[in-house]
């Protein structure tokens, strides 16, 4: 479910790209989040904060930040990792709901080093969302990168955060875990080994292609060339439309792509189902405390004819109290269901037992 690539030395700029791969439309819109927003952890309310930095985020269903960059050029990207094991957090643990996991980092950190220090110091636990309808429960890992070119990957294995922190960690895809990806890619020609560059949609193959092409890039002369080169890399790691593979959301088509210049603070978005590319220049937006939360409607406005295209920095609009209210209610509902997952699991178990008894008759 996705590929993330950092180009830390694009002729003096740091460029990041990511594909969002999923089996269904996430109804993604862009949102501008100002400084000064008060938030809670979405678990038990023990962790509260006020956003220090404004950000632009790409959401899923207008509820959860799946990708984004803040005004310091610090960016984060949520990707699928089937091996994720968040364990069972204790009440005394510092916790974040998956729903606000990325947003916490965007709100509070300007650099990867700051984010890594806090993660290691607190041992923050992630409270997993839960879907009582029987759909897949999200198992995610988080990539972070900043305007210095620094990079980190955070995975949860055995209930604890495992942090991979290095400027050299430029690529992240999905399974297997990051330590195994680093070993597999050494087998590829041009990356230390002798095997030919693979071409399948497997996460390990996408990891190899993205690693190869970002390593062998020609230095760009302009920002346009740098961003175009990154689009070419992530398109090469994209997944075509096809029949979804059951139980494998990471084996799904690419539905949108983002390329961001973390040095010059430009965030570009491209849908694979709508032909127009749009971008936001942070210098043209105000993230000051007290300014409104604003939304860019990509679902209704990113159309083939007469739709949004190009610079959309001034085309964000207030969602209104009703829109914000719906989003908040939806987020609270997700978090409530997550808290009740043990109870839902017992109900599901009981229902299955009743069905089995009926079939026995």
Task: List the catalytic residues.
Answer: 2
Read off the tokens for 260: 């961001």
DSSP assigned state of 115: H
Distance CA 112, CA 75 (A): 9
Query: Which residues have C-beta within 8 Å of that of residue 22, sequence separation ≥ 6?
Result: 1, 249, 252, 253, 255
Distance of CA 6 to CAs 9, 234, 304, Å?
A: 9, 10, 30
CB atoms within 10 A of CB 2: 32
Phi, psi of 115 (to 5 degrees): -65, -40
DSSP string for residues in 272-338: SSS--EEEEEGGGS---TTSPPEEE-HHHH--SSS---EE-TT--B--HHHHHHHHHHHHHHHHHHH
Best CA proximity match to 269, nearest among 310, 218, 315, 317: 310
Distance CA 94, CA 48 (A): 11
**116: helix, strand or coil:** helix
Q: Sort 207 into a burial class: Cβ within 10 Å, 0-12 / 13-18 / 19+.
A: buried
DSSP assigned state of 232: H
Give the neighbor-by-neighbor strand order of the sheet with 266-271: 171-172, 3-10, 13-21, 254-261, 266-271, 277-281, 310-311
């Amino acid at each position: 479910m996705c590929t993330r690539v950092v180009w830390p030395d694009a002729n003096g700029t740091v460029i990041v790209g990511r594909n969002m791969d999923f089996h269904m439309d996430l109804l993604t819109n862009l949102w501008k989040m100002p400084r000064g927003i008060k938030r809670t952890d979405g678990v038990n309310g023990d962790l509260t904060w006020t956003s220090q930095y404004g950000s632009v985020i790409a959401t899923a269903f207008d509820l959860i930040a799946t990708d984004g960059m803040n005004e310091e050029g610090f960016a984060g990207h949520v990707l699928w990792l089937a091996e994720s094991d968040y364990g069972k957090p204790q009440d005394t643990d510092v916790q974040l709901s998956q729903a606000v996991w990325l947003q916490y980092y965007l709100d509070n950190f300007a650099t990867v080093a700051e984010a890594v220090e806090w993660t290691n110091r607190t041992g923050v636990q992630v409270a997993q969302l839960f879907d009582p309808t029987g759909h897949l429960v999200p198992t995610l890992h988080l990539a972070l990168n900043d305007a210095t070119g620094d990079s980190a990957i955070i995975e949860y294995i055995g209930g604890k955060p495992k942090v991979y922190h290095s400027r050299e960690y430029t690529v992240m895809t999905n399974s297997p875990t990051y330590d195994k990806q680093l070993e597999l890619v050494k087998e590829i020609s041009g990356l230390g080994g002798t095997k030919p560059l693979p071409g399948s949609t497997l996460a390990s193959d996408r990891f190899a292609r993205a690693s190869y092409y970002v390593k062998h890039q020609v230095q760009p002369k302009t920002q346009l060339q740098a961003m175009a080169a990154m689009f070419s890399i992530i398109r090469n790691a994209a997944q075509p439309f096809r029949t979804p593979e059951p139980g494998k959301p990471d084996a799904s088509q690419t539905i949108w792509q983002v390329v961001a210049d973390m040095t010059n603070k430009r965030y570009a978005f491209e849908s694979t189902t709508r032909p127009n590319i749009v971008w936001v220049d942070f210098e043209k937006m105000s993230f000051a405390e007290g300014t409104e939360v604003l939304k860019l409607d990509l679902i209704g406005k990113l159309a083939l004819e007469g739709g949004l295209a190009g610079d959309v920095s001034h085309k964000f609009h207030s969602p209104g109290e009703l829109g914000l209210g719906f989003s908040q209610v939806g987020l609270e509902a997700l978090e409530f269901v997550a808290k009740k997952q043990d109870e839902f699991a017992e109900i599901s178990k009981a229902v299955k037992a009743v069905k089995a008894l009926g079939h026995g008759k």
